[in-house]
């Protein structure tokens, strides 16, 4: 995928006047005001930090307690009944930023992050995070044996989780929703390994976006259009 420019990001930071962003089903997300910043401004800071170098030093500290201004998230809020959606905000060779939107009870598969560092920041709702140790295999498709997970949470707005190449495997459950999580990857992630503990195997899965710059790539089944969030 070609690089997505910061000018396009700034253009997508607000819905046209009088037109709310597209949201999903049920109750609307409840955002907790903390240390607020617009999404576009924050991504610009990330781009400066990346600076063409591998890794993103200090991202976790910068995310701690940060809840972005809800109006700047609105174009990317696309929900799907019973599931979660992956909504691209920014991408270049060193950096990928997503907003994931979760219906209450939505669960991710047990997965890794293709060797990339990943930061997970709760923007609204609550999540249970289950982190799995890899006991054998699991570095490529095939046999994979996981240990018992360590549960964290439920955690709410302002919480930051970090997955590194040495401990990349987790499962995420939205225990309270609709919920929104911000994801930062130190390099784009196009595929991941998905784990089946019962069969003790893992498979490679291609990752897809539900929307890019707020524009859905395909109609989302099971969605409704609620009133404007703001």
Query: Any idea what the CATH number is for the domain that residue 203 is in?
Result: 2.60.120.10
Tokens of 193: 């390994």
Q: What is the mean pLDDT of the chain?
A: 78
Within-domain flag for 53:
yes
CB count within 10 Å of CB 98 equals: 24
pLDDT given at position 225: 41
Give the per-residue pLDDT at 221.
53
Per the annotation, binding residues are 111, 113, 170
Q: What is the pLDDT of residue 4?
A: 38
Q: Give yes or no for residue 211 having a pLDDT over 70.
A: yes
Question: Which residues face 216 on adjacent strands?
Answer: 211
This prediction has a pTM of 0.74
Q: pLDDT at position 170, please?
A: 92
Residue 21 reports pLDDT greater than 60: no
pLDDT of residue 61: 62
Q: Does residue 226 lie within any of the structural domains?
A: no
Residue 8 lies in a domain: no
**Predicted local distance difference test score (pLDDT) of residue 19:** 35
Which residues constitute the domain of residue 45?
22-209
pLDDT at 18 over 60: no
**Is residue 16 situated within a structural domain?**
no
Does 138 map to a domain?
yes
Whether the ω angle into residue 229 lies within 30 degrees of 0, i.e. cis, is no
Binding positions for Fe cation are 111, 113, 170
Q: Does a structural domain hold residue 215?
A: no
Is residue 73's pLDDT more than 50?
yes
Number of structural domains, the chain?
1
Lowest model confidence (mean pLDDT) among 27-36, 57-66, 133-142, 150-159:
27-36
Residue 221 forms part of a structural domain: no
Region 168-193 average pLDDT: 91
Report in angstroms the alpha-carbon separations of 110 from 71, 128, 220: 31, 13, 23
Mean pLDDT (whole number) for 192-213: 93
Indicate whether 11 belongs to any domain. no
Q: Under the phi-then-psi rule, with left for phi > 0, alpha for psi from -120 to 50, and beta for the rest, what region is 159?
A: beta
């Amino acid at each position: 995928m070609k690089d997505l420019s910061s000018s396009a990001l700034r253009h997508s930071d607000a819905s046209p006047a009088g037109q709310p962003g597209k949201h999903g089903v049920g109750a609307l997300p409840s955002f907790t005001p903390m240390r607020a910043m617009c999404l576009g401004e924050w991504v610009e800071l990330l781009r400066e930090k990346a600076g063409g170098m591998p890794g993103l030093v200090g991202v976790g500290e910068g995310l701690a307690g940060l809840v972005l201004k809800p109006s700047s998230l609105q174009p990317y809020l696309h929900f799907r009944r019973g599931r979660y959606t992956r909504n691209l905000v920014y991408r270049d060779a060193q950096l990928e930023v997503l907003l994931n939107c979760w219906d209450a009870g939505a669960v991710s598969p047990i997965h890794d992050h293709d060797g990339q560092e990943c930061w997970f920041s709760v923007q609204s709702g609550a999540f249970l995070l289950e982190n799995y140790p890899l006991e054998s295999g699991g570095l490529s498709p095939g046999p994979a044996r996981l240990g018992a997970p360590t549960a964290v949470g439920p955690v709410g707005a302002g919480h930051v989780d970090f997955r590194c190449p040495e401990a990349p495997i987790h499962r995420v459950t939205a225990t309270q929703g609709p919920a929104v999580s911000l994801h930062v990857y130190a390099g784009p992630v196009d595929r991941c390994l998905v784990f089946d503990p019962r069969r003790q195997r893992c498979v490679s899965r291609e990752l897809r976006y539900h929307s890019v710059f707020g524009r859905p790539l395909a109609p989302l089944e099971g969605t409704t259009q609620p009133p404007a969030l703001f």
